[in-house]
Structure 1
Amino acid sequence: MSVPGTGAAVAAAGGVAGAPGAAGAAPPPGPLLLGVRHHGPGSARAVLAALDAHRPAVLLVEGPPEADAVVGLAAHKEMRPPVALLAHAADDPGRAAFWPLAGFSPEWVAVRWALEHGVPVRFFDLPAARTLALGDEGGEEKEEGPAGELRLDPLRVLAETAGHDDPERWWEDVVEHRGVPPAGPAGARPADPYAPFTALADAMTALREAHEGASGTPAGASSEGGAGRRRDAVREAHMRLRLREACGRFGDDRVAVVCGAWHVPALAAGATAAADRRLLKGLPKVRTEITWVPWTNERLARRSGYGAGITSPGWYGHLFDAPDRPVERWMAEAARLLREEGRTGASPSSPPSVSSVSPAHVIEAVRLADALAALRGRPLPGLAETLDAVRAVLCEGSDMPLALVHDRLVVGDALGTVPPDAPAVPLQRDLARLQRSLRLRPEARERELDLDLREENAAARSRLLHRLRLLGVDWGEPVHGRAGGTGTFRETWRLRWRPELSVRIAEAGVWGTTVAAAAGARAEALARDAASLAETTELAERCLLAGLGEALPAVMRALADRAALDTDVGHLARALPALVRSVRYGDVRGTDAAALREVAEGIAERVCVGLPPACAGLGAAAAAEMRGHVDAAHRAVVLLAGEDLLTRWWSVLRSLAGRDRAPAVPGLLRGRCVRLLLDDGRLSGEEAAGLMGPALSPGAPPTDAAGWIEGFLADGGMLLVHDERLLALVDDWLTGMSGEAFTAVLPLLRRTFAAYEPGVRRTVGELVRRGTRAPGGAAAARETVPGFGEGPDPERAGAVLPTLRLLLGERAEEGAARGGAEGEEVTAR
């Protein structure tokens, strides 16, 4: 819907604001209402100019009045934006709201100006105590900032009215690029510092009149939009009451207000104080606490879900901070970033070269950006023109290095800081102390941290990160599958600090005043509430990793109770690996795992007793699930390394491997047990072939035989490459099968062989093609396949010795001294 004249008025006001000169214009009558765009650097510059010209006696800023108690910290030398006001319910920290502020936010700039000039600052929005309570009662999303919940986008409507289809580009043209001429002097002031706010107020007045019905609900809005408008009406009633109080105390012309431009017409409206009090009467409230917390540029961006966010906080911060020549400075920074990261060509694999992005590239990119702006009729190159020039000149047309520029410069990875004396729950203070002592600084950018747990500082870092995870504060995430993952003397973590973790810390404060005490109390509560044996065993492992020795007895009691009552073999098998890992690697972390060993051995004994009957008569899906339990139990028992237990386990596997009569064990499980015994040296090749023969005989059901093959060969096909008898048995089974039976088992076989490495599949196919039953059999065929022979090749095996010496040091040197037999031994292993 167009609002005639509004877009042109704002554009004209932007042009006036951009003209350098003395600030001599008279302010409008009454309190100075400075309507702004949240997180707009152009608005921030205009606010500074207006405040310098007006010199008010008091400043009212959109925000929760509870923040009056902590606003003085904004002038602290250790306060660095982006930061946010965090308010949460005292008895339920999870009910929280943020009011983020960047260094270029008009509200932040106004607050800093007032504190520097000794002007009292008052926040005059609806109290956080009411905001949090209203959000719960109405079932709406939690308030996330001063922009409110208005579904209408005023900026888009104004841009469309002015004939632009891109509101961000329109705002840049009429406001953001009008503050300082491209090469003008820093600190230039507009001829009329109030003109932009007068024009914007007129535009918002017309916009609200056009979009609001008689009831005050935006025309065509849904009920959800109506709820958002009702919230705005309540907020604006409170703002008017606080504004009247300030005017009564300091005088109308001595009060300055900084708020969202949408609210300015409501503040200037003629509503009575009695009507405003009626709107506020009976509103619910909760007891709240408020403080400052660090924020990030990524969370300021609209893509992070913050409704009043902007797509390019890094770019806007640059526009606000650059004293002159913003495009030239931006291009130089982009070139520096690309040189540092080695992104010098169209391909990220190109060799890094510091001189690849040269000053000549920067000059050419600036010229291209200026040319694009002129072609598109823009006063200065905007973000679109700048990025187009960066892509074409600095990145040679590639989007991959451009993505780096976008992440680091357009959005940015800034993380604000808050003074240590800011109000905080005791748990937050303890965490800050630990971060300082362990030299583990929070960062907004994701990074990996490698820890050698044999070092005291690394072990302490690991304990801290594991304790925080128990508390639901996922600052770090373990990276599994890397060298030394969890359970060894080496750990790798992926760290990234997110602002919402401050809420998680506040929530976790109910468990204790220190990280260790809170994590211990949380672990005991989780043990009481665990729904399964597997959860309890995992919790025991996490307690060991976190070094929570005081909580471990309570967890062990819960574990022992659940293990004694649980008779499901699957549950017991799933619980066993976590216990055994803790037993096996507890000493590396300096923890006592003796109690865990006793419980683990007891569970392993019960698995040995209950596994044979549990495996009989299973269907295909149940057999596949049980195979996972058998694998998990096998790995756990081998790690537990008790000779008597191992002997008993192998006996159980042997009994399962041969049970092909009623009550029969499915072929998948029989084949799996044969493979486990063969890998452990408990079966010879002849015995394995003897068990495979009946399983693949013509009388065996094809699907059962295919399951046997799947279980036996699940870990790879090298057995088929090196054992011609097994390959011949599989080949005979397949070639002797009817067409109908082959079609039935083909999906199972494809699933099995598809998991092999390409080289293994190729070699097996070559061996079969040459014929397993030809003269000489597979052995003769193997001789023609490169890389395979009948016995070890000492010369080829010896080629690995130099690498082994580098990896193993003295041990490799001692091994090499034992002579040429070393190569054969390495090959055999």
Structure 2
Amino acid sequence: MSVHILGIRHHGPGSARNVKAFLEALQPDIVLVEGPPEADAILQWADHEDLQPPVAILAYQPDSPQQACFYPFAAFSPEWQAIQYARRQNIHVRFMDLPLAHVFAREQAEKAAAEAAASQATPDAADDTSLTATPMCSAGQEVPEVAVADEEAFTLPLRRDPISHLAAAAGYDDGERWWEHMFEYRQQPDQVFEAVHDAMQALREELPGNNDPREALREAWMRKVIRQAEKEMFQRIAVICGAWHAPALSHMPKAKEDNDLLKGLPKVKVECTWIPWTYNRLSYESGYGAGIPSPGWYEHHWHHPADDGTRWMARVARLFREQQQDISVAHVMEAVRLANALASLRHYSRPGLEELNEATLSVLCNGEALLMKLIREELIVSNCIGSVPLSVPKPPLQADIEKLQKKLRLPQTAGFKDYILDLRKDTDLERSIFLHRLQLLEIQWGKRFEISGKGTFKEQWRLQWDPALTVDIIEKGNQGNTVEEAAAKFVISRAAATDTLREVCSMLSSALPADLPVVADVLIHRINNLAAAAGDVLQLMEVIPALVNISRYGNVRKTDAALVTGIAESMISRICISLPAACTAVAEEAAQSLLDLFYAMNDAISLLQQSAQTHTWQDTLQAIARNRQSAPVIAGYATRLLFDYKVCTGEELVKTFSVAMSVASPPAEAAAWLEGFLKGSGTLLLLDEELWGMVYQWVFRLENDIFIQVLPLLRRTFSNFTAPERKKLGDKVKTGGTGNSPSALVSTSGPDAIRGAQGIPVVMQLLGY
């Protein structure tokens, strides 16, 4: 009976190759792999033809899905190659890490204890608490990637990677690069595992602070699993673990010591499944603690271990040519030659990624680092995504989503993909409904963009799959077994929990394109109740545009948008009754906010195209415009809207304008009234000479000190005009307002000597005299 401990680097192609060769030579009876024992039941799918890495084991707590973690695998992961060997040889394979049932339970207990301690501390101290994550290192101290409900930054303990000590002793400033050249790129695997064991043993003996209780629990459980395999009379036991754990598994303490350490651990229920993974999520940038800097390069090295750089440079050249870059065969040959020369100077047997990148930058990129970003995204990291068979057990909601993705031909992709949907086509309409329902469930797979000039029957979506979305899907699984059922229940529960009219209207506008008529009925009833109880006219004005916009979906989406018409009309009537009083005694800042609501309200009524509501709105505008107590900017805009409706024109408009801009009105109020009247367009002043003359004369008659006071208001008014409008107005001022006569501002009697003399002292002071 023999136990063989193979210390490896997670996701290392050289380690994977060495493990595969060792197992083929040893021919073990059982393979024990570092991983969650709860996932043993799903290892039967590991050799399924549709399970293509990169993939990950998702382990989660059913009653708290956000308590979850991932165990990712690539084709070049040593654990994956060990599992594949065992499945091919039809021998036993088991995971041997500390069960997540205990890990999750301990984390919950620690979190509860921390919250209890924080609640007893002072408020300031409680606010300073932060979530702590278990450290990970490339040598094998991997803890699974944890998905948490919020996105608070993790606070990592300051702990140096043990491998960095060996790298520094060998003259390297990067532990990853040292490990790659010592183990991943090495072509002679003889005694490599013995070397790894001895190196880790020395580190564990020499480094202080090597008493992490979590690591002690994990290693105790691993030894327990090894002892169990020995009791079952397996003769040749192969153990695949992180390099850091190898010495702890080689020297077995008494079983009683481990049992005492593991005694009384809390436990929760955990379930596991396979999910697709991406190389991007396997990289350092994703925050994955055992991540690697270059998964795309590692895959290349896994498939072509003897490549001297020629194959890699050919891939780089093909990528550049696809981007219309001029790359010749001579460029590739020179880059390969330079990479090998750099490797020789550094005493390497063959070039690594660092040498290939330097050669690429010098020869193919002509020193331009910008193109290296493209190589990193497309080749070094890559956007590869794995696949999982449909037969793998999944929660019902996840299975329904995958079924719809396949039916609607919306595949999960690591990179983003754009879709322009024509809602007049049945398939595109079903796609749109599906994506809108996912958004209602807060599953952000797709992002919608507005399309200008395409009408209401076009939608543009950008889809990019993130494996972490699986956790969100599982979490929403308690809402229903299908997307339609879960979305309906989720929105209804949210609507019942909110008392904000705006939020419920937003839910309704999202529920209609999602084709959820039952939800729409509930939301409409909820809106009706909230609107009846709402006493704030501004709150009603905020939701009217959203309700009116719902009518746009009536024809294209085949939904009964008329359900909200009665509510909208009732709310408009209430707004028209209360609005004149709300426009009086309003501060300047509040008036500006109210002006935006007026703008949206007027557009909504125009879109509604109901004559009765339009007439009621016009009567309200007249009441506001004629009331001397109305805020000037609101009164001015109300007058402008009446002019647009052709209600206030001709002499009536001139009279209203004259009264508002007369010298009897305070200049600040007149300027504010003018700002409201001209909101959105200066064309009126360009076309109506009578209005222009009144504005011109009003400005001309202002005293200097008063002009300085109202100048900011005038600037704000004219800054909202388009550049061509401002230019034409400026030209009109230069010509005196008519475009033909000299400017009235220029005196025809010659210079004013007295006024000129007053400026001479100021000019002399500026010149230093």
TM-score (normalizing by structure 2) = 0.86
Distance 1:310 1:703, change over 3 A: farther
Distance 1:330 1:763, change over 3 A: farther
Q: Which residue of 2 aligns with 1:168?
A: 176
How far is the alpha carbon of 1:256 from its aligned partner?
A: 1.1
Aligned residues: 708
- For structure 2, the 5+ residue unaligned runs are 112-130, 144-155, 745-769
How far is the alpha carbon of 1:739 from its aligned partner?
A: 4.9
Q: Which residue of 1 aligns with 2:762?
A: none
Counterpart of 1:303 (choices 279, 285, 288) is 285
Decide whether the 8 Å contact of 1:97 with 1:143 is kept in 2.
Answer: no
The answer to whether structure 1 residue 240 and structure 2 residue 223 are counterparts is yes
How do 1:29-428 residues align onto structure 2 when only pairs under 5 Å count?
A: 30-139=2-111, 147-148=142-143, 151-179=159-187, 190=188, 192=190, 195-213=191-209, 216-217=210-211, 229-251=212-234, 254-325=236-307, 327-342=309-324, 344=325, 356-428=326-398
Decide whether the 8 Å contact of 1:767 with 1:778 is kept in 2.
Answer: no
The answer to whether structure 1 residue 580 and structure 2 residue 548 are counterparts is yes
Separation in 1 of the partners of 2:511 and 2:363? Answer: 54
Distance 1:318 1:572, change over 3 A: same
Distance 1:231 1:763, change over 3 A: farther
3-state DSSP of counterpart to 1:178: coil
Q: Which residue of 2 aligns with 1:669?
A: 634
Q: Which residue of 2 aligns with 1:785?
A: none
Decide whether the 8 Å contact of 2:76 with 2:299 is kept in 1.
Answer: yes
Letter in 2 for 1:565: A
3-state DSSP of counterpart to 2:70: strand
- For structure 1, the 5+ residue unaligned runs are 1-28, 180-189, 218-228, 345-355, 780-829
Decide whether the 8 Å contact of 2:499 with 2:530 is kept in 1.
Answer: no
Separation in 1 of the partners of 2:670 and 2:168? Answer: 70
Counterpart of 1:767 (choices 732, 737, 740) is 732
Separation in 1 of the partners of 2:178 and 2:694? Answer: 75
Q: Which residue of 2 aligns with 1:625?
A: 593
Separation in 2 of the partners of 1:741 and 1:77? Answer: 83
How far is the alpha carbon of 1:483 from its aligned partner?
A: 4.3
Separation in 1 of the partners of 2:90 and 2:551? Answer: 63
The answer to whether structure 1 residue 431 and structure 2 residue 439 are counterparts is no
How far is the alpha carbon of 1:678 from its aligned partner?
A: 3.7
How far is the alpha carbon of 1:99 from its aligned partner?
A: 0.9
How far is the alpha carbon of 1:590 from its aligned partner?
A: 0.6
Q: Which residue of 2 aligns with 1:349?
A: none
How do 1:668-687 residues align onto structure 2 when only pairs under 5 Å count?
A: 668-684=633-649
Distance 1:556 1:275, change over 3 A: same
The answer to whether structure 1 residue 444 and structure 2 residue 414 are counterparts is yes
Percent identity, aligned pairs only, is 43
The answer to whether structure 1 residue 569 and structure 2 residue 537 are counterparts is yes
* Structure 1, 601-610 or 157-166: larger mean CA deviation: 157-166
Decide whether the 8 Å contact of 1:132 with 1:143 is kept in 2.
Answer: no
Decide whether the 8 Å contact of 2:36 with 2:96 is kept in 1.
Answer: yes
Q: Which residue of 2 aligns with 1:502?
A: 470
How far is the alpha carbon of 1:416 from its aligned partner?
A: 1.0
3-state DSSP of counterpart to 1:257: strand
Decide whether the 8 Å contact of 2:53 with 2:73 is kept in 1.
Answer: yes
Separation in 1 of the partners of 2:523 and 2:232? Answer: 62
Separation in 2 of the partners of 1:155 and 1:735? Answer: 80
Distance 1:202 1:522, change over 3 A: same
3-state DSSP of counterpart to 1:245: helix
Separation in 1 of the partners of 2:311 and 2:104? Answer: 43
- Which whole-Å deviations, capped at 9, do the CAs of 1:80-138 have from their partners, x for residues lacking one? 11111011111222221111111211111211122112221100111121222222222
How far is the alpha carbon of 1:773 from its aligned partner?
A: 6.0
Decide whether the 8 Å contact of 1:135 with 1:141 is kept in 2.
Answer: no
Q: Which residue of 2 aligns with 1:818?
A: none
Distance 1:358 1:502, change over 3 A: same
- Which whole-Å deviations, capped at 9, do the CAs of 1:666-719 have from their partners, x for residues lacking one? 233223333434444444477556544444444444444443344344424444
Separation in 1 of the partners of 2:738 and 2:484? Answer: 67
Distance 1:696 1:112, change over 3 A: farther
Separation in 2 of the partners of 1:176 and 1:544? Answer: 55
Counterpart of 2:610 (choices 642, 649, 660) is 642
How far is the alpha carbon of 1:774 from its aligned partner?
A: 6.5
Separation in 2 of the partners of 1:210 and 1:734? Answer: 85
Letter in 2 for 1:772: G
3-state DSSP of counterpart to 1:299: helix
Separation in 2 of the partners of 1:364 and 1:697? Answer: 82
Q: Which residue of 1 aligns with 2:518?
A: 550
How far is the alpha carbon of 1:552 from its aligned partner?
A: 2.0
Q: Which residue of 2 aligns with 1:511?
A: 479
Separation in 1 of the partners of 2:104 and 2:539? Answer: 43
Separation in 2 of the partners of 1:380 and 1:447? Answer: 38
* Structure 1, 703-712 or 556-565: larger mean CA deviation: 703-712
Letter in 1 for 2:181: D
How far is the alpha carbon of 1:143 from its aligned partner?
A: 7.4
Q: Which residue of 2 aligns with 1:799?
A: none
* Structure 1, 74-83 or 618-627: larger mean CA deviation: 618-627
Letter in 2 for 1:167: G
Counterpart of 2:680 (choices 700, 715, 719) is 715
Kindly report the root-mean-square deviation, in angstroms, between the aligned alpha carbons of the 2 structures.
Answer: 2.7
Separation in 1 of the partners of 2:361 and 2:664? Answer: 68
Letter in 2 for 1:410: I
Letter in 1 for 2:734: R
How do 1:3-42 residues align onto structure 2 when only pairs under 5 Å count?
A: 30-42=2-14
Counterpart of 1:461 (choices 416, 431, 434) is 431
Q: Which residue of 1 aligns with 2:766?
A: none
Separation in 2 of the partners of 1:429 and 1:453? Answer: 26
Separation in 2 of the partners of 1:778 and 1:725? Answer: 17
How far is the alpha carbon of 1:549 from its aligned partner?
A: 1.3
Letter in 2 for 1:264: A
